Structure 1
Amino acid sequence: MESLLSLAFDNLSSFEAPRIKKGLKQVEGLLAQICLSGPSSPRKQSAAEAARDKEQHKGLADLAGDPAFREFFKLQEGFEWNIAQRLLTTLDWLLARGGNGAYDLLIVHCLDLIQGVLLLHPPSKALFSRSANMNLLLDLLEPLNCPAIQSASVITLVVALLDMPQNMRVFEQLDGLLTVTSAFKSRETGRDVKFRITEFLYFYLTPETPSIPRADAHVNAAAGPGLLQRSPSKLAKIFGGGGAAPSSPGKGQRGDGDVTRSVEAKKELLDRYLPGVVDELLKDLHTYKPFGGILS
């Protein structure tokens, strides 16, 4: 797997669009292979069984017995092989050369892959606790970008904030609400993008779940702070549940009790930018329960 990642990273580091496209395809192929690989079993499957397994959707827990996934997850724990970090570097380079249709397609592809990596390896979401990475997503929401990029950016933002209150606070501190609501109110913003932003606003107003404290493990210092931050997920089941000892917050950090913000507090923040609209959004959340009724 290291050799495959090495080839992909070499292409992603290139200054040539065709090579970057090839690198993105290589990463996509690797992720697809992990997600679509069947459960390890010594017996041979019939054609009907194989077809049935192929149709079934997999969750993280379903990958627990897959050696490829376990190897992938371990590699993502360090800076050298972390795919999300490499994709963010590539995304930054592509954004600086935006305005070109070919580059726009690469940006959308890159954002789609970042979403997939964050879902397969939730600890990588901690990369968005850094202002530079969060600002990158907010820059992609600007009207000068095409609607496809804006929509993909909103979805990536949701994935990066999901079950990560510390990322949500960074988003707020960087005037992320102003960026999102400005795009929502702009006449230049397309209907599809406004629909995605509406979904984001519903998501923003849902209760926050504290993150599971960072695992006490040896990490390459270059990986940066918090790369092993666990978000609530099925990862504990996948890797046996033990061994992840909570670490006490250090200087300059806050515990989850300080990081999370109530729905009422977030409503007050959002009211500054969308007065009179937030009450209707909350009413919809209570009435239609789009996220499984977690507000009930």
Structure 2
Amino acid sequence: MESLLSHSFDHLSSNDPGKIRKGLKQLEGLLAQICLSRSGSDAISTADKRRSIATSRAQDLAPKELVHLKDDAAFREFFKLQEGFQWNVVLRLIGCLEKLLGRSSNGQNDLLIVSTLDLLHGVLLIHPPSRSLFSREIYMNLLLDLLDPTLCPAIHSSTLLCLVSALISSPTNVRLFEALDGLLCVTSLSKSRSATREVKMKSVEFLYFYLMPETPDQVKCMNGSARTAWGSSAGWATSSSREVEATKAIEEKQDLLGRYLSNVQDLVEDLRESMPFGAAF
């Protein structure tokens, strides 16, 4: 696994778009191999063996259940490697984003940014400790820069999803997001005349997520579930305490969002009625 990560990281550090794309595909293939299993039979045909896992047909693969994923040897090896600086995928993807964002906007570069964001979104979900990187201003600002209205809608949609995975169960990150005018960035994007319908919908969905309660009991419960699902990890205990201390009441978040949006109460009422994230209110 270290060899595959090393090759993909080398490609991501290149200035050649083709090599960057190859590095992203290699990481995608590794994650697919870890998180997906072949549906139906475990037998793999000769044709399948010749195919890269990254390019296998989606209908041939099915997600592994979380309860089984934590016991998978390959996943546990990957998770352990993420604890060190040398093999942390999120750090490499952030570096790749910084490089791509510094280039002039074009179709090829935009596609690479979207692919990088999609991978970042996935890795943050399967390795929760990596979310702590977004408690640093430089990395949170990178995501907020990707909400610039001049960028393409596909980048906006992928960035909003990535923001959710960077903030979920992480009140500390949410507080930094607020301090860096993240709410202004999202609401401005949703009001932009150039924003597509999909981007507007993704923005509203993000605001629904933001308005969810952050009670200390829920944060403890979610962090406890994460420890159970993913196993022990250095820093979990101190991280959990820090997150609980950073929680904010929903009324406080409503007031903050109300500075940029006039219909916050309507969003809250809609959340209570539709419960898109379950009965949290």
Structure 2 matches for 1:84-99, cutoff 5 A? 84-99=90-105
Shift of 1:231: 4.2
SS in 2 for 1:10: helix
Q: Is 1:77–2:103 an aligned residue pair?
A: no
Aligned residue in 2 for 1:22:
22
Q: Is the 8 A contact 1:163 1:232 kept in 2?
A: no
RMSD of aligned residue pairs (Cα, Å):
2.7
For residues 10 and 57 of structure 1, do their structure 2 counterparts lie closer, same or farther at Cα, with a shift above 3 Å needed? closer
Distance 1:287 1:60 in 2: 29
Distance 2:70 2:163 in 1: 27
Shift of 1:187: 1.0
For residues 278 and 242 of structure 1, do their structure 2 counterparts lie closer, same or farther at Cα, with a shift above 3 Å needed? closer
Aligned residue in 2 for 1:259:
246
Aligned residue in 2 for 1:292:
278
Q: Is the 8 A contact 1:135 1:174 kept in 2?
A: yes
For residues 46 and 31 of structure 1, do their structure 2 counterparts lie closer, same or farther at Cα, with a shift above 3 Å needed? closer
Shift of 1:245: 7.1
Distance 2:235 2:101 in 1: 37
Aligned residue in 2 for 1:225:
none
Aligned residue in 2 for 1:280:
266
Letter paired with 1:167? N
Distance 2:5 2:62 in 1: 27
Distance 2:31 2:25 in 1: 10
Shift of 1:234: 3.8
1:260-296 C-alpha deviation (Å, 9 max, x unpaired): 0011000000011102x1010001011111111211x
Shift of 1:256: 3.3
SS in 2 for 1:184: helix
Aligned residue in 1 for 2:201:
195
SS in 2 for 1:247: helix
Q: Between the two proteins, what is the percent identity of the paired residues?
A: 53
For residues 267 and 242 of structure 1, do their structure 2 counterparts lie closer, same or farther at Cα, with a shift above 3 Å needed? closer
Aligned residue in 2 for 1:169:
175
Aligned residue in 2 for 1:63:
69
Q: Normalising by the residue count of structure 2, what TM-score does the alignment of the two structures yield?
A: 0.86
Q: Which runs of 4+ in 1 moved over 4 A?
A: 44-47, 209-213, 241-245
Letter paired with 2:92? R
For residues 260 and 204 of structure 1, do their structure 2 counterparts lie closer, same or farther at Cα, with a shift above 3 Å needed? same
Shift of 1:182: 0.8
Q: Is the 8 A contact 1:60 1:238 kept in 2?
A: no
Distance 1:181 1:76 in 2: 34
Q: Is the 8 A contact 1:61 1:238 kept in 2?
A: no
Letter paired with 2:242? G
Shift of 1:246: 2.8
Letter paired with 1:292? G
SS in 2 for 1:255: helix
Aligned residue in 2 for 1:111:
117
For residues 177 and 238 of structure 1, do their structure 2 counterparts lie closer, same or farther at Cα, with a shift above 3 Å needed? closer
Paired residue for 1:208, among 210, 214, 219? 214
Aligned residue in 2 for 1:247:
238
1:166-204 C-alpha deviation (Å, 9 max, x unpaired): 000010010101111111111121111000000001001
Unaligned runs of at least 5 residues, structure 1: 39-43, 48-53, 214-229
Unaligned runs of at least 5 residues, structure 2: 45-59
How many residue pairs are counted as aligned between the two chains? 264
Aligned residue in 2 for 1:227:
none
